[in-house]
Structure 1
Amino acid sequence: MRVISGSKKGKILKSVPGNQTRPTTDKVKEAIFNMIGPYFTTGTGLDLFAGSGGLGIEGLSRGLEKVIFVDRDMNAFQTIKTNISECGFEQQSELYRNDSERALKAIIKRDIKLDVIFLDPPYKKQKLVSLLQSISDGKLLTESGFVVCECSSDIQLPNVVGELVKTKEAVYGIIGISIYSMGN
């Protein structure tokens, strides 16, 4: 697993020990960033089920100013911390060991607006629709922001959740990607 493009292109990232996390493959990561960017001139991101931190770190490498990383697993937390440090992104990162719902509530309370949110929850504990609803209800996205959902390709996410509208979707083998933005 590596950083694909940007300021840290080619940097090798550590994986979370064990089999509790499923890192996003380089092929899928490249496809995601081609769908949403591929580069940024500014912005704040949230990597909600961060695992190794690969998606958020890729976003920082491609120009995001700041990324908030959240994972509740201690091994994942330590791996993200190491990867952020190895890439020199400590000043641009916030890292929290927390579950997704509590993390979203805390971000809503802080009145943070996000340009990109990466949602890649464990496939067996699928709760993307309720997370999308919380993001919509909390008005977490900037006007031009978007949510990237990664799930099993056999899951069909709704076209509209609250004020969020699915704008793109693609399938890469067993992985499905859906991109949501604010409907106008």
Structure 2
Amino acid sequence: MRLAIISDTHLPRGDRALPEACVARLRAADLILHAGDFVELPVLEMLEALGPPVAAVHGNVDRPDVVSRLPERRIVTLPEGGVRIGMVHDAGPARGRLERQRAAFGDCAAVVFGHSHIPLHETSSDGAFQLFNPGSPTDRRRQPRHTMGEATVTADGRIAFALVDLD
């Protein structure tokens, strides 16, 4: 199973749009994960129209109609090995983040989050838990590139995350 992972799209804003390379990867995925900060409901609807199912959470700048459609946090259970991925927009301060999210999402193999716009892939010392932030495909802030993420989930439930540079 192939996952396409984005966060912090912050659309619409001026002439900003999802890069074509991002849209192509979203369309080719089996499941799209969005870790919040769509801003407006038509952005969610546009993602849903691409084809693959969308699992998402709301972010701190999302309009009320987005917030009413999406949870603050969620757990997605994938058919591949029953692997569970937690999702939240703001995973809190960097210090102790991995341990906090592992405790908050119990039996999840990974947590996907956004908010910081800083791409991150961190694995626990025992290798049993991963934390992943795809950065942003549209609002890189102080980061050198626009980014998104992908993950491959194998039949036995292993998850391999990868950051994708879009510039």
TM-score after normalising by structure 2: 0.44
Which of 1 and 2 has higher RCO (CA within 8 Å, sep 6+)?
A: 2
TM-score after normalising by structure 1: 0.41
User: Of Structure 1 and Structure 2, which has the larger fraction of its residues in helix?
Assistant: 1
